[in-house]
């Protein structure tokens, strides 16, 4: 373990004694179709009576539908999680459709619980992620229709449509509940907000700029 200013850099060796679980835990029965009506809180969702389960619980129709990308980012995500497909509960996977307007972006974000594998269905996409070790290396490339790319669990990543036409991607994630932390919103738009003294030193910029960014998110 090395200390770099105030930031702890934990060496790779320190991790070699852990078994990393790359996705949600395995189910211990055929399935546990989510009972959408329940308010019981547990790690996952409670199961429907298996006798009441129907094929539609394992299905979602709608990924052919283009989402409305008329927003500041020019991007819209259509998620398919147990809310939309109850049969996903406990299976450790989920899927999304992502629509991008020309020059639309899916901004810098991270999924704390999932790796993400994305395939471009229409248009092209500039994609990338930032490594944590041994430095903050930016790994990115431009994808064409039919190309796939994987974003490793937890790493900050983005997609941008550089083209003059719409782009569409499908992405599968290794959790039924990947979580999403959009960097700008988390840092400048948290509730309650992060003190500007902390943001000023973290980003090495003055309070006015911090105040401006806080009003944007
Ligand atoms: C798309 O969203 C914008 C902004 O919310 C809205 O003004 C517009 O009517 C929507 N378009 C369609 C086709 O729903
Ligand atoms: C589950 O409940 C939510 C919230 O009531 C609803 O939006 C969603 O459509 C329901 N999902 C299914 C598959 O019934
Ligand atoms: C951030 O929070 C503090 C205290 O809660 C408040 O005084 C300040 O106006 C807030 N700043 C912004 C930009 O919302």
Take atom 8 of ligand 3 and give the residue whose Cα is closest: 193
- Kindly give, in sequence order, each residue whose CB lies less than 8 Å from that of residue 155, ignoring residues fewer than 6 positions away: 110, 129, 130, 131, 132
- Kindly give, in sequence order, each residue whose CB lies less than 8 Å from that of residue 49, ignoring residues fewer than 6 positions away: none
Which stretch of 26-35, 106-115, 158-167, 196-205 has the lowest confidence by average pLDDT?
26-35
Residues 74 and 155 in one domain: yes
CA 86 to centroid of ligand 2, rounded, Å: 9
Pairwise CA distance, residues 88 & 175, whole Å: 9
12: tokens are 């790779």
Please state, for a pLDDT cut of 70, what percent of the chain lies above it. Answer: 90
Work out which ligand 2 atom sits closest to the CA atom of 36. 1
Nearest ligand to the CA atom of 196 = 3
CA 205 to centroid of ligand 3, rounded, Å: 17
Residues 74 and 150 in one domain: yes
Residues 211 and 120 in one domain: no
Residues 109 and 192 in one domain: no
Residues 166 and 119 in one domain: yes
Is residue 133 in a domain? yes
Is residue 12 in a domain? no
**For ligand 2, is residue 86 a contact (CB within 6 Å)?**
yes
Is residue 38 in a domain? no
For the domain that residue 146 is a member of, what is the CATH number?
2.60.120.10
Mean pLDDT of the chain: 91
CA 144 to centroid of ligand 3, rounded, Å: 44
Residues 74 and 128 in one domain: yes
Take atom 10 of ligand 2 and give the residue whose Cα is closest: 83
Residues 209 and 162 in one domain: no
Range of the domain at 193: 187-216
**For ligand 3, is residue 197 a contact (CB within 6 Å)?**
no
Residues 87 and 150 in one domain: yes
Q: Could you tell me the pTM of the whole model? A: 0.86
CA 193 to centroid of ligand 3, rounded, Å: 6
Is residue 60 in a domain? yes
Pairwise CA distance, residues 211 & 217, whole Å: 10
Q: Over range 112-130, report the average pLDDT.
A: 98
**For ligand 3, is residue 211 a contact (CB within 6 Å)?**
yes
Tally of structural domains, the chain:
2
User: Looking at 26-182, which runs of residues are DSSP E strands?
Assistant: 75-80, 94-100, 105-110, 116-122, 125-130, 138-143, 148-151, 157-160, 167-173, 181-182
Is residue 30 in a domain? no
Query: What pLDDT, on a 0 to 100 scale, did the predictor assign at position 26?
Result: 86
Take atom 8 of ligand 1 and give the residue whose Cα is closest: 70
Is residue 117 in a domain? yes
Q: What pLDDT digit, counting tens, does each position of 163-194 carry?
A: 999 999 999 999 999 999 999 999 999 999 99
28: pLDDT strictly greater than 90: no
Q: Over range 30-52, report the average pLDDT.
A: 89
Is residue 106 in a domain? yes
Binding residues for Mn(2+): 109, 111, 116, 157
Residues 164 and 205 in one domain: no
Is residue 198 in a domain? yes
Using a 6 Å CB cutoff, which residues line ligand 1? 68, 70
Residues 55 and 129 in one domain: yes
């Amino acid at each position: 373990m090395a200390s770099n200013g105030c930031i702890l850099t934990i060496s790779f060796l320190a991790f070699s004694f852990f078994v990393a679980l790359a996705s949600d835990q395995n189910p211990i029965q055929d399935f546990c179709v989510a009972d959408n009506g329940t308010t019981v809180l547990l790690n996952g969702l409670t199961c429907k009576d298996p006798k009441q389960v129907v094929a539609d619980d394992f299905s979602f129709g709608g990924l052919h539908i283009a989402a409305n990308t008329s927003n500041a980012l020019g991007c819209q995500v259509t998620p398919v999680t147990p809310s939309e497909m109850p049969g996903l509960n406990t299976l450790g996977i989920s899927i999304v459709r992502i629509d991008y307007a020309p020059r639309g972006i899916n901004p810098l974000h991270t999924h704390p619980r999932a790796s993400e594998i994305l395939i471009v269905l229409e248009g092209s996409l500039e994609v990338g992620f930032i490594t944590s070790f041994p430095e903050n290396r930016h790994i990115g490339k431009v994808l064409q229709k039919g190309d796939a790319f994987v974003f490793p669990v937890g790493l900050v990543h983005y997609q941008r449509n550089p083209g003059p036409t719409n782009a569409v991607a499908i992405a599968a994630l290794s959790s039924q509940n990947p979580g999403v932390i959009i960097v700008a919103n988390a840092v400048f738009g948290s509730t309650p907000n992060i003190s500007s003294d902390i943001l000023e030193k973290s980003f090495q910029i003055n309070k006015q700029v911090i105040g401006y960014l806080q009003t944007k998110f």
